Amino acid sequence: MKELIKNLLLSLGEDPSREGLKNTPERVEKSLKFLTSGYWVNIEQLVNGALYEDDNTDEMVIVRDIDIYSLCEHHLLPFFGKCHVAYLPQGKIIGLSKIPKVVNAFSRRLQVQERLTTQIADCIDKILQPKGVAVVIEAIHLCMSMRGVEKQNACTVTSSMLGCFKTDSITRSEFLSLLQSPAKYGR
């Protein structure tokens, strides 16, 4: 990969041996490996030991405002924003910290936001088999802000609703309205 980056710098008209670029191929390789580390995450190992049988919890669980950082697969430019995940338990709950870890596992790949949203929802659904799952992502795409249409304030919102979040408008509305309420902590 370092040789590819060096050749890329040459193709851009740069001198990879100049002071500021001497270690750039190594830094870019390290950065790209980190930014795509989600390809090597084993989801079953990730959630192992954090699934709990619980027949008493049947109300909505929401983890909101999860920071996401990903790379657009079309331009290899970052997109970033917030992810909100909800589920309605059906005999099982998951350790709350595992939800952001699942989000990271899928966002640390070359992505499109639409697929990312669906992958997170499908994964939570498969792991928990709840009554329903809802995922909403709000993100800014640098491929739209820095180039192309150059719309710095354009925010893309995607959602994936499964189970009762898809079929029951009251459940879906409750989730969406809770996203609109100001967070008491963390904002």
Q: Exactly one of 72, 83, 123, 164 is catalytic; which is it?
A: 72
Strand partners, 138: 82, 157
Rg (CA), the chain: 20
Is residue 165 left, alpha or beta, with left meaning phi > 0 and alpha meaning psi from -120 to 50? alpha
Q: d(Cα 129, Cα 103) in Å, to the nearest integer? A: 17
Collapse the DSSP code of 104 into the 3-class scheme (helix H, G, I; strand E, B; otherwise coil) and give the result: helix
Q: Exactly one of 83, 111, 123, 141 is catalytic; which is it?
A: 141
Collapse the DSSP code of 138 into the 3-class scheme (helix H, G, I; strand E, B; otherwise coil) and give the result: strand
Q: Exactly one of 83, 111, 113, 119 is catalytic; which is it?
A: 113
Q: Exactly one of 29, 90, 143, 174 is catalytic; which is it?
A: 143
Active-site residue flag, 73: yes
Active-site residue flag, 141: yes
Active-site residue flag, 152: no
Q: Exactly one of 14, 75, 90, 129 is catalytic; which is it?
A: 75
Q: Exactly one of 73, 114, 152, 155 is catalytic; which is it?
A: 73
- Compute the residue count for the chain: 187
Q: Exactly one of 74, 114, 152, 155 is catalytic; which is it?
A: 74
Which tokens belong to 20?
A: 């500021």
Active-site residue flag, 84: no
Amino acid (one-letter) located at 132:
G
Give the active site residues: 72-75, 113, 141, 143
